[in-house]
């Protein structure tokens, strides 16, 4: 009986710590148009929250070499209360492909999301240095080029964006400037 009580107590503590660990308070926010990127750098991880005025997908890309090429993208949408998130690679100037289809790996965790009152919000965590050949290292102290986009009302990873913007962001200080938007 004593072992059962101890095991139950340990399981309860583990569950509380797991729930608390995923309750992130975001230290910084950057907005462009009707999309907001909130984030916290935590050791070797970047916790991200994307929110946009859409019932379609929202997405973010990090450090392209040119336009969309070579960027690490994370896209997501919420359908029937369930979040769908995908890790993509900027395979060309104007396109991207699922990491796993071009030799990379999915490198996100803690995926969650919701869709309420015409707004979609997703949250996830990515490593700053995944070791994946399809992801560039993110240096939080340097300026990072961030691509923000959202689609118009369609829960699909292949629908074109309705809006996109390019920001230069210092992930440590929170300072950002909009480079361009459409």
pTM of the model: 0.84
Using CA atoms, how far apart are residues 3 and 163, in angstroms rounded to an integer? Answer: 57
pLDDT digits (tens, 9 = 90+) for 71-113: 999 999 999 999 999 999 988 888 888 888 888 888 999 999 9
Buried-exposed string 73-98: b where 16+ CB fall within 10 A, e elsewhere: bbbbbbeeeebbbbbbbbbeeeebeb
Using CA atoms, how far apart are residues 79 and 86, in angstroms rounded to an integer? Answer: 14
| Domains defined for the chain, CATH in brackets | 26-181 (2.60.40.1210)
The stretches of 22-166 forming alpha helices (DSSP H) are none
Give CA 76 to chain center in angstroms.
Answer: 8
Nearest Cα to Cα of residue 76 among 42, 48, 104: 48
Distance (Å) of CA 5 to CA 11, 19, 22, 55, 71 = 10, 21, 26, 46, 50
Using CA atoms, how far apart are residues 122 and 52, in angstroms rounded to an integer? Answer: 9
Beta strands in the chain (DSSP E): 28-32, 35-42, 45-52, 58-62, 72-79, 82-89, 97-98, 109-116, 119-127, 143-151, 161-170, 176-181
Lowest mean pLDDT among 49-53, 94-98, 142-146: 94-98
Query: Do the Cβ atoms of 119 and 53 come closer than 8 Å?
Result: yes
What is the rounded average pLDDT of the residues 141-167? 90
Query: Do the Cβ atoms of 58 and 35 come closer than 8 Å?
Result: yes
Given pLDDT bands bounded at 50, 70 and 90, which one contains residue 181?
A: low
Query: Do the Cβ atoms of 177 and 29 come closer than 8 Å?
Result: no
């Amino acid at each position: 009986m004593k072992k059962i009580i101890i095991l139950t107590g340990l399981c309860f503590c583990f569950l509380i710590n797991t729930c608390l660990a995923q309750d992130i308070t975001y230290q910084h926010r950057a907005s462009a148009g009707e999309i907001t990127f909130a984030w916290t750098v935590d050791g070797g991880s970047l916790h991200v929250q994307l929110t946009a005025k859409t019932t379609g997908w929202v997405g973010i890309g990090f450090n392209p070499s040119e336009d969309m090429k070579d960027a690490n993208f994370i896209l997501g949408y919420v359908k029937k209360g369930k979040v769908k998130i995908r890790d993509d690679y900027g395979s060309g100037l104007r396109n991207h492909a699922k990491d796993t289809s071009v030799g990379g790996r999915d490198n996100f965790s803690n995926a969650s999301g919701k869709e309420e009152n015409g707004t979609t919000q997703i949250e996830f965590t990515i490593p700053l240095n995944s070791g994946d050949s399809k992801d560039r290292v993110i240096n939080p102290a340097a300026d990072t080029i961030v691509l923000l986009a959202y689609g118009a009302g369609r829960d699909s990873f292949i629908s074109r964006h309705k809006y996109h913007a390019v920001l230069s962001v210092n992930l440590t200080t929170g300072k950002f400037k909009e480079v361009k938007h459409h």
